Amino acid sequence: MTEKDLIAGCKSNDRKAQEALYRRYFPVVKLLCLRYTQEEDRLISIINDGFMKVFKGINKYKSKGSFEGWIRRTAFNALSDYFRKENKYLKNTSFEVPEQRQQEEALADLFYADLLVMVDDLPETTAKVFTKYAIEGYTHKEIGKSLGFSDGTSKWHLFEARKKLKAQLKNTKGHKLHSHVG
């Protein structure tokens, strides 16, 4: 089945298309989730939740951008939801955890939505590289190819994103972020 056939089949709740999509993208989602947990039961639960979100939200995919990237982002949302639900926060994102205690506390209170708000404040290319690397799980080589520059340039943008995000975390010292709480 082509990707287009898979998408169309999943949009019409075709079980064979859903199974084919699951089998095709399972390794991608598993690799993404393994960056945050190696506990087998937790891993399978998160992966399955991610695919449920994919199947429930497939009508939201408008064929703009990479379908695999959309699946990765949706799976990352499931991962974030899982840790939030378990009252554990994402402490091991792909950017380095700040060493100062106040920054660690700010990171411990950081929800996924807050991270996205912070990423939105980054320069456009730097934000794209960070999102593709830290959230969608692309390699620097893949990022460089998709954005038209070397993998070294991708690494530089990731370094800049980490540096700027750390500075933003430092500036939030003593302030709760939780911008998504209404």
The answer to the question of residue 95 being in a domain is: no
35 & 78 share domain: yes
User: Is the model's pLDDT at 11 over the cut of 90?
Assistant: yes
The answer to the question of residue 177 being in a domain is: no
Average pLDDT over residues 58-64: 87
Per the CB < 8 A criterion, the answer to whether 50 and 33 are in contact is: yes
Average pLDDT over residues 154-164: 89
Sequence-separated (6 or more) residues with CB below 8 Å from residue 124: none
Q: For a pLDDT cut of 70, what percent of the chain falls above it?
A: 77
CA angle 26, 59, 72 (to 5 degrees): 30
7 & 81 share domain: yes
For position 90, what pLDDT does the model report? Answer: 43
The answer to the question of residue 76 being in a domain is: yes
For position 29, what pLDDT does the model report? Answer: 92
The answer to the question of residue 41 being in a domain is: yes
Per the CB < 8 A criterion, the answer to whether 58 and 10 are in contact is: yes
Please count the other Cβ atoms lying within 10 Å of the Cβ belonging to residue 172. Answer: 19
CA angle 11, 180, 82 (to 5 degrees): 60
For position 27, what pLDDT does the model report? Answer: 93
Query: Please, which pLDDT band fits residue 10 given cuts at 50, 70 and 90?
Result: very high
CATH code for the domain in which residue 48 is found: 1.10.1740.10
Number of compact structural domains in the chain = 2
User: Is the model's pLDDT at 25 over the cut of 60?
Assistant: yes
Sequence-separated (6 or more) residues with CB below 8 Å from residue 128: 147, 157
Domain boundary (85, 117, 133) is at 85
The answer to the question of residue 35 being in a domain is: yes
For position 177, what pLDDT does the model report? Answer: 46
The answer to the question of residue 122 being in a domain is: yes
CA 6/CA 169 separation, integer angstroms: 41
CATH code for the domain in which residue 151 is found: 1.10.10.10
The answer to the question of residue 136 being in a domain is: yes
The answer to the question of residue 60 being in a domain is: yes
For position 128, what pLDDT does the model report? Answer: 86
For position 105, what pLDDT does the model report? Answer: 45
For position 23, what pLDDT does the model report? Answer: 95
Mean pLDDT (the chain) is 78
Max CA distance (Å), the chain: 52
pLDDT tens profile 82-141: 877 765 444 444 444 444 444 444 444 445 556 767 777 888 898 888 888 877 777 888
List the domain range (segments joined by +) for residue 152: 101-171
Helix axes 67-85, 112-120, angle to 10 degrees: 130
For position 1, what pLDDT does the model report? Answer: 85
- Among the listed residues 176, 25, 182, 30, the one whose alpha carbon sits nearest the alpha carbon of residue 89: 176
